[in-house]
Amino acid sequence: MSWGLFWGGWSALIPAVKADLALTDEQLGLALFAVPVAAVPAMLLTGRLAQRLAQHTLPAVTAAFAVGCLLVGLASSRWTFTAALLLVGVASGGIEVALNATLAAREARDGVRLFNKVHAATPLAMVAAAPATGLARAMGASPRAVLTVIAVLVALSAVLAIDPRPWQDAATAPEGAPPGRLSGALLLVGAVGALVLLMENSVEQWGAIHLGQQLAAGPFLASCGPAVYMAGLSVGRILAQWQGPRFDDGTLVRLGGALGGVGLAVAAAGWNVPWTLTGYALAGIGLAPVVPTLLGAVGRAVGPDRRSKVISVVTTVAYAGFLVSPPLVGVLAGRLGLPTALGIVATCGVLVVTGAQAVRLLPALTPTGEES
């Protein structure tokens, strides 16, 4: 939730921060690039960190994220702004891995399914944070004041993330599956996740532009594109948490990829605003359970001695789709037009359906944690 609070509000704050710091478009772009540059290595390192800190990892990286949010608001120059964003990138990438590692460990410890339920909170936070930030700005609140409030809320979430119970007693830790058998399966599962995040980010970054340019939607209706998609993500994950146990992991991934691809294709067709919004909502509902389901399957495929590391690998590989999406869609849109570009991205749903077979390559563990 803390991740969604910041990033949901941040999009509404960027123009004001840019003006306050007198940044050019080029300077802003380079500063913002600090986030992914820092996030990728942080994801890989957090997997190793979690092996040492276990249940303390998530509170620690969330606290660092709160400091980063505050420093962004306090930045008074281009360089301090960039440095603060580097910390935000490190902590943001760390949260991605720490949260997933925590969920996998708690699923194994407590015997419950948590991924879809917890991941449903992030898009809800983003949907709520963006208009709340806009309202605060309209009432005269400065970016520094808004970011200070966000930092306090993130710090509170770090306290709430404290879990006094250990993930698992090291004396009873199972051996898990051999690394050689896992590497190929992990890369394939991560690649499927990357396809989903490519599709997701295409809506988040280009959905409003598509509605505005192709259908002449006003600012409010255009902003509803990403908003209904985020709402669809939450609804889809809640549905998967409720009814997901009736299906195996591969079936959930296939259903999600199919519905997500169809929804995005309907949106790309751009017949009118209602149909486009419906398409984005369907895409959100369909794609919602795919990444949480993949991460849950990976967490159940290995013993606790390597669970955090493999979670970090899959999360990092999947993150590549998030990074590639904006420039890829931009290049395709420049050459073929935005509707065609989004239509091409929609075909990734077919690849997700096909890639669901990767889940079967993951080793199965017996109740004692040893490979079967």
- 229 and 251 housed in the same domain: yes
Asked which of 109, 135, 167 is the last residue of a domain, the reply is 167
- The answer to whether the CB of 338 falls within 8 A of the CB of 206 is yes
pLDDT digits (tens, 9 = 90+) for 267-306: 999 889 999 999 999 999 999 999 999 999 998 888 887 8
pLDDT digits (tens, 9 = 90+) for 72-131: 999 989 999 999 999 999 999 999 899 989 998 888 888 888 888 888 888 888 878 877
> Is 9 in the same domain as 146?
yes
Rounded CA-CA distance 89/79 in Å is 15
In sequence order, what DSSP letters do the residues of 150-172 get, joined into one string?
Answer: HHHHHHHHHHHT---S-S--GGG
160 shares a domain with 215: no
Domain-located, residue 173 = no
pTM metric for this prediction: 0.81
Please give the Cα distance from 111 to 366 (Å, whole number). Answer: 13
pLDDT bracket for residue 48 (50, 70, 90): confident
Range of the domain at 7: 2-167
Residue 174 belongs to a domain: no
Query: 183 and 161: one domain?
Result: no
Q: What is the rounded distance in angstroms from the CA atom of residue 107 to the CA atom of residue 101? A: 10
Domains in the chain: how many in total?
Answer: 2
